[in-house]
Amino acid sequence: MRRATIVWLLLACSCKKESSPLDQPPAGAGGSSSDPWSGSAAPASTPAKTLCADDDITKHIDESLSVSLAYLSALETKSAKWSKDCERARKDLIALEPDAQKFMDAMLAFKAWGGSLSDECRVRVAELGDKLPIAAEIEKRTPALEAKVKPILEKCENHPGFKEAAAKGLRVLRKKRSP
What's the mean pLDDT in 4-29? 37
Please report the pLDDT score of residue 85 as a whole number.
Answer: 87
Residue 177 domain flag: no
What is the spatial distance between Cα 119 and Cα 97, in angstroms, rounded to a whole number? 34
What is the spatial distance between Cα 74 and Cα 94, in angstroms, rounded to a whole number? 12
- The amino acid that residue 139 corresponds to is E
What's the mean pLDDT in 8-18? 36
What is the spatial distance between Cα 178 and Cα 114, in angstroms, rounded to a whole number? 21
Neighbours of 151 (CB within 10 A): 12
pLDDT digits (tens, 9 = 90+) for 101-149: 999 999 899 999 988 899 999 999 988 988 889 888 988 998 999 988 9
| Structural domain harbouring 124 | 4-27+59-169
DSSP annotation of 2 reads: T
Please report the pLDDT score of residue 51 as a whole number.
Answer: 63
pLDDT category of residue 172 using cuts at 50, 70 and 90: low
pLDDT digits (tens, 9 = 90+) for 38-95: 334 444 444 444 468 888 899 999 999 999 999 999 999 999 888 888 999 999 999 9
What's the mean pLDDT in 160-177? 74
Are 75 and 171 in contact by the 8 Å Cβ rule? The answer is no
Residue 53 domain flag: no
Are 128 and 57 in contact by the 8 Å Cβ rule? The answer is yes
Are 114 and 13 in contact by the 8 Å Cβ rule? The answer is yes
What is the spatial distance between Cα 124 and Cα 101, in angstroms, rounded to a whole number? 28
Residue 78 domain flag: yes
DSSP annotation of 173 reads: -
Output the pTM of the full model: 0.67
Residue 87 domain flag: yes
Whether residue 162 is predicted with pLDDT greater than 90 in this model: the reply is yes
Residue 34 domain flag: no
What is the spatial distance between Cα 110 and Cα 47, in angstroms, rounded to a whole number? 17
pLDDT category of residue 8 using cuts at 50, 70 and 90: very low
3-state helix, strand, coil in the chain (%, to 5): 65, 0, 35
Q: Which residue has the higher pLDDT, 96 or 46?
A: 96
Are 9 and 110 in contact by the 8 Å Cβ rule? The answer is yes
Total number of domains constituting the chain: 1
Residue 47 domain flag: no
Please report the pLDDT score of residue 27 as a whole number.
Answer: 36
Please report the pLDDT score of residue 52 as a whole number.
Answer: 83
Residue 41 domain flag: no
Residue 32 domain flag: no
